[in-house]
């Protein structure tokens, strides 16, 4: 089995995923190995799932997933991997203080200039050491992170599940951590929001403040890593997923304390490099994109979108212009990276790859947009078409990715209620999932054309995954395999 080379797939020239030769793509392109799929564009280049389904049509199987979670499942060969947090019904009053808790950042935290990098030897806090307590909560100009309400008291089990792709049977179930959550989450969130990743040999199950766990595909624990404890803005909860490329896993840790981005060796969990960051809480997942033969890690945030060299962690470029509460994962193509936020200040930046330094206000920004961009969901880039929702609403826009010309904008999708799940694409179709369990299938084209409207009984917040002729939908209670 060839090793996974996600970075090699992140080509930044224009191509049509549906027309790509199957022989030109690596083995990982057949599956859905991480958040946003094999190309990190939301497209399955070898997928061709059904266009129509219901609770009684084209459902190969349906199983109940214990606990709660809003993460996308990942799939490799005949195995599906799902993360969840299972409430035990047992109560435990939280302690007044927790030695594992990370402190808020102090004013004057170190800034990293272009070309500098912090290694495990000079990073201050060691790879396995929690940061020391540093004064009052929130830091200068920062929120507390936690809410004013009572903290959670119920013990949860953070759990990784392996499901047989053919039958829906749970093959194994491993509890990574059992404890009381140190803070809550939004009503639409969960305690297990992060998607796992796999290279076909390992499963990387990321539970944020509960740590990163590496299992083999039979469920045997190989190594684990603890990053400390997050304090998220307004106790909104956590949400970033790991990014996997070659032998490297990248974790973004933006919260109301000491922020950083860290790269680990996937075989051992050894820290390769760490960069401190000066950001508010974000929920965005890093994008690993290859340009001019070198992979770089692109991360959105409130202050600036930044890019780091994957091999060294060196800061390559940065650009201001996004809004608060960064959640959508950037996407790359057409020689550019597209970054979006959609909370208080809608923003889209199409930034040309290959530049260095501070790109704010320069001609490196090929085009931009300041309306109707997504708050929660990520965009999908299908060939030269860029699709995205507005805020958390079922209002769709489609743009030419290279020129920024709108093919259609703010198209209201009456069948959908709410849009937290990110769009996905395959076989010339785009799948748009609403929180009410309705999926709209449209044609991948510059003209809006509905091919089918499909309804399931379960509400859906998690983004879909596509492998071959199957579509996987994780509802709030059930996991569906949609197939003819």
Q: Once rounded to an integer, what is the mean pLDDT over residues 160-189?
A: 88
Q: Name the CA dihedral angle for 398, 294, 197, 475, rounded to a multiple of 10 degrees.
A: -10
How is residue 378 written in tokens? 């990520």
Q: Once rounded to an integer, what is the mean pLDDT over residues 345-367?
A: 97
Q: Label residue 124 by pLDDT band (50, 70, 90).
A: very low
Q: Which of 455, 451, 457 is nearest to 476 (CA)?
A: 457
Q: What backbone phi and psi angles, to 5 degrees, belong to 30?
A: -80, -15
CA distance 413 to 388: 12
Lowest mean pLDDT among 138-152, 202-216, 358-372: 138-152
pLDDT for 128: 35
Angle at 175 between CA 174 and CA 181, to 5 degrees: 150
Q: Label residue 94 by pLDDT band (50, 70, 90).
A: low
Give the chain's mean pLDDT: 85
231 within 8 A of 183, measured Cβ to Cβ: yes
**H-type helices in 142-205, by residue range?**
none
Q: Name the CA dihedral angle for 112, 355, 402, 423, rounded to a multiple of 10 degrees.
A: -30
CA distance 94 to 237: 17
Distance linking the first and last C-alpha atoms of the chain: 28
What pLDDT, in 10s, does the model give residues 247-287? 999 999 888 878 899 999 999 999 999 999 988 888 899 99
Beta strands 197-198; 202-206: pairing state: antiparallel
204 within 8 A of 213, measured Cβ to Cβ: yes
377 within 8 A of 388, measured Cβ to Cβ: yes
CA distance 106 to 142: 10
pLDDT for 314: 98
pLDDT for 185: 66
**Residue 262 per-residue DSSP state:** E
pLDDT for 433: 98
In this structure, the number of other CB atoms found within 10 A of the CB of residue 2 comes to: 9
In this structure, the number of other CB atoms found within 10 A of the CB of residue 253 comes to: 23
Q: Once rounded to an integer, what is the mean pLDDT over residues 318-345?
A: 94
CA distance 5 to 470: 23
207 within 8 A of 192, measured Cβ to Cβ: yes
CA distance readout (Å), 163 to 202, 268, 449, 480:
15, 25, 35, 11
CA distance 442 to 450: 4
CA distance 360 to 349: 10
139 within 8 A of 104, measured Cβ to Cβ: yes
Q: Which residues contact 420 (CB under 8 A, 6 or more apart)?
A: 70, 188, 376, 377, 392, 435, 461
CA distance 133 to 128: 16
CA distance readout (Å), 475 to 64, 65, 150, 376, 444:
9, 9, 28, 17, 25
What pLDDT, in 10s, does the model give residues 57-83? 999 999 999 998 789 999 999 999 999
How is residue 172 written in tokens? 């194994």
Q: Once rounded to an integer, what is the mean pLDDT over residues 92-98?
A: 58
pLDDT for 184: 61
Is the pLDDT at 420 greater than 70, yes or no? yes
CA distance 161 to 315: 36
36 within 8 A of 17, measured Cβ to Cβ: no
Q: Label residue 98 by pLDDT band (50, 70, 90).
A: very low
440 within 8 A of 418, measured Cβ to Cβ: no
Q: Once rounded to an integer, what is the mean pLDDT over residues 315-340?
A: 95
Angle at 449 between CA 444 and CA 453, to 5 degrees: 100
CA distance 398 to 107: 42
Is the pLDDT at 313 greater than 80, yes or no? yes
Alpha-carbon radius of gyration of the chain: 21
Q: Once rounded to an integer, what is the mean pLDDT over residues 93-116?
A: 45
Query: Which domains does the chain possess?
Result: 6-92+151-482 (2.130.10.10)
How is residue 136 written in tokens? 């009052």
Is the pLDDT at 210 greater than 80, yes or no? yes
What pLDDT, in 10s, does the model give residues 362-375? 999 999 999 999 99
pLDDT for 111: 41
Lowest mean pLDDT among 109-118, 150-159, 242-251, 282-291: 109-118
In this structure, the number of other CB atoms found within 10 A of the CB of residue 208 comes to: 23
Lowest mean pLDDT among 49-63, 224-238, 339-353: 224-238
Percent of the chain exceeding pLDDT 70 equals 81
Beta strands in 320-402 (DSSP E): 331-333, 336-341, 347-352, 357-358, 365-369, 380-382, 385-390, 393-400
């Amino acid at each position: 089995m060839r090793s996974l080379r996600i970075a090699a797939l992140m080509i930044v020239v224009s191509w049509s995923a549906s027309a790509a030769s199957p022989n030109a793509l690596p083995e990982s392109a057949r599956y859905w190995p991480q958040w946003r799929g094999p190309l990190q564009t939301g497209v399955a280049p070898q997928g061709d799932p059904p266009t129509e389904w219901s609770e009684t049509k084209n459902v190969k199987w349906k199983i109940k997933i214990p606990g709660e979670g809003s993460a996308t499942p990942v799939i490799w060969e005949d195995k599906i991997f799902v993360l969840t947090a299972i409430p035990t019904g047992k109560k435990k009053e939280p302690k007044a203080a927790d030695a594992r808790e990370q402190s808020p950042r102090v004013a004057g935290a170190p800034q990293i200039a272009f070309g500098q990098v912090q290694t495990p030897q000079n990073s201050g806090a060691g790879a396995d050491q929690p940061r020391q307590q540093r004064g009052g909560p929130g830091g200068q100009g920062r929120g507390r992170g936690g809410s004013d309400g009572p903290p959670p008291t119920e013990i949860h089990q953070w759990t990784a599940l392996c499901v047989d792709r053919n039958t829906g049977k749970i093959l194994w179930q491993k509890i990574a951590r059992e404890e009381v959550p140190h803070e809550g989450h939004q009503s639409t969130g969960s305690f297990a929001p992060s998607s796992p990743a796999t290279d076909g040999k390992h499963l990387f199950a990321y539970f944020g403040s509960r740590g990163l766990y590496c299992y083999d595909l039979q469920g045997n624990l190989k190594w684990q890593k603890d990053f400390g404890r997050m304090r998220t803005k307004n106790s909104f909860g956590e949400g970033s997923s790991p990014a996997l490329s070659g032998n490297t896993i990248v974790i973004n840790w933006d919260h109301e304390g000491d922020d950083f981005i860290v790269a680990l060796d996937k075989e051992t969990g050894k820290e390769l490099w760490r960069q401190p960051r000066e950001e508010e809480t974000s929920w965005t997942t890093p994008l690993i994109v290859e340009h001019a033969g070198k992979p770089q890690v692109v991360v959105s945030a409130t202050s600036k979108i930044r890019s780091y060299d994957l091999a060294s962690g060196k800061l390559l470029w940065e650009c201001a212009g996004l809004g608060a509460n960064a959640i959508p994962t950037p996407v790359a193509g057409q020689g550019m990276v597209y970054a979006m936020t959609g909370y208080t200040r809608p923003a889209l930046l199409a930034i040309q790859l290959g530049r260095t330094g501070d790109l704010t206000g320069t001609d490196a920004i090929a085009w931009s947009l300041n309306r109707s961009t997504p708050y929660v969901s990520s965009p999908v880039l299908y060939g030269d078409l860029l699709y995205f929702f507005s805020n958390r609403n079922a209002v769709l826009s489609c743009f030419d990715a290279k020129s920024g010309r709108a093919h259609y904008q703010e198209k209201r999708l009456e069948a959908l209620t709410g849009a937290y799940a990110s769009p996905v694409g395959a076989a010339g179709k785009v799948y748009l999932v609403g929180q009410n369990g309705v999926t709209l299938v449209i044609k991948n084209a510059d003209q809006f054309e509905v091919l089918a409207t499909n309804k399931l009984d379960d509400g859906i917040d998690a983004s879909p995954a596509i492998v071959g002729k199957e579509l996987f939908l994780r509802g709030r209670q059930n996991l569906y395999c949609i197939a003819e």
